[in-house]
């Protein structure tokens, strides 16, 4: 039986959108969508032995989670890991090391699910997990969406007093250019040893694979405008796509 640590991380407060991790979304606490999707994924994969850990310096967030999901283990975040410039990799490693010490055993993978990505389905999580499981050569698999812009054609950069295409080329059609995706920061699945031994804090030092989600997944909640837009999109998805509706319906009352 494979052992999985599901990590949920959230800082207290937020400069861009204050206390966003404590917000309600479509009438239910935002963090519950992540927990509901994780629960649906695990129910469909009884062969996985999993723990869920909440790494946060917010007692309010911890209490909100404990009220309906008491099985989630709160890892109070230290002050050193609470700053704006702390790499998320350090938080993942902190969760891994503390949970392994607490449990007295090693995990095979760590999966991080971002709180501010409520439009994530159990099949999205399964696809990312299975991609990593089937590719032991990969250090990491993370979720992406198909890019709406291409750096060889319709993305430009400022160069002195003018702009130039980001990647100059002789391509005459998008089909000739490499495939590109938008990283949406919704799901990360790490190989345990690579994560534990990483000393640079950089994701890009490993061999990475991607798992593609519906393009609405590119939006996460970093502002009041994002929040309102996401609720409007959610109403559409809940009405038309059973996998999205299942996450909301599965949230514990």
CB 154, CB 160: distance < 8 Å: no
Q: Which domain holds residue 115?
A: 2-250
Looking at residue 63, what is its pLDDT?
97
Radius of gyration of the chain (CA): 19
Looking at residue 71, what is its pLDDT?
97
**What's the DSSP call for residue 20?**
G
Q: How many domains does the chain have?
A: 1
Alpha carbon 97 to chain centroid, angstroms: 20
The angle subtended at Cα 235 by Cα 232 and Cα 239, nearest 5°, is 150
The angle subtended at Cα 47 by Cα 42 and Cα 49, nearest 5°, is 65
Looking at residue 231, what is its pLDDT?
93
Sign of CA dihedral 13, 84, 7, 224: positive
**What's the DSSP call for residue 179?**
P
In SS3 terms, 85-130 reads as CCCHHHHHHHHHHHHHHHHCCCCCEEEEECCCCCCCCHHHHHHHHH
The three-class DSSP label of residue 60 is helix
Q: What is the pLDDT along the chain (253 residues), one digit of tens a residue?
A: 899 999 999 988 665 567 788 899 999 999 999 999 999 999 999 999 999 999 999 999 999 999 999 999 999 998 888 766 678 899 999 999 999 999 999 999 999 999 999 999 999 999 999 999 999 999 999 999 998 888 998 899 999 999 999 999 888 888 888 999 999 999 999 999 999 999 888 888 899 999 999 987 667 677 888 888 999 999 999 999 999 999 999 999 9
75 CB contacts (<8 Å, ≥6 apart)?
A: 53, 54, 55, 56, 94, 95, 98, 99
CATH number at residue 128: 3.90.550.10
Looking at residue 15, what is its pLDDT?
58
The CA-based diameter of the chain, rounded to the nearest angstrom, is 59
CB 13, CB 19: distance < 8 Å: yes
DSSP annotation string for 54-74: EEES-HHHHHHHHHH-TTSEE
Looking at residue 187, what is its pLDDT?
97
**What's the DSSP call for residue 172?**
S
Nearest in space to 22 (alpha carbons), one of 64, 66, 51: 64
Phi and psi at residue 198, to the nearest 5°? -70, 130
């Amino acid at each position: 039986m494979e052992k999985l640590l599901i990590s949920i991380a959230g800082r207290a407060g937020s400069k861009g959108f204050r206390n966003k991790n404590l917000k309600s979304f479509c009438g239910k606490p935002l963090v519950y969508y992540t927990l509901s999707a994780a629960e649906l994924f695990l129910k469909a994969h009884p062969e996985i032995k999993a723990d869920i850990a909440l790494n946060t310096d917010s007692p309010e967030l911890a209490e909100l989670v404990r009220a309906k999901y008491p099985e989630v283990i709160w890892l109070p975040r230290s002050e050193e890991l609470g700053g704006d410039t702390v790499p998320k990799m350090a938080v993942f490693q902190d969760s891994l090391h503390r949970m392994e010490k607490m449990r007295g055993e090693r995990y095979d993978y760590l999966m991080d699910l971002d709180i501010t990505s409520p439009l994530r389905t159990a099949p999205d999580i399964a696809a990312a997990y299975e991609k990593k499981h089937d590719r032991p050569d990969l250090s990491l698999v993370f979720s992406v969406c198909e890019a709406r812009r291409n750096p060889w054609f319709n993305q430009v950069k400022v160069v002195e007093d003018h702009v130039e295409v980001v990647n100059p080329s002789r391509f005459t059609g998008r089909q000739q250019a490499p495939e590109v995706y938008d990283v949406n920061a919704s799901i990360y699945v790490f190989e345990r040893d690579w994560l534990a031994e990483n000393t640079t804090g950089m994701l890009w030092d490993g061999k990475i694979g991607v798992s593609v989600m519906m393009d609405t997944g590119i939006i996460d909640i970093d502002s009041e405008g994002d929040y309102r837009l996401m609720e409007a999109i959610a109403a559409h998805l809940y009405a038309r796509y059973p996998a999205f509706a299942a996450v909301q319906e599965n949230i514990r009352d």
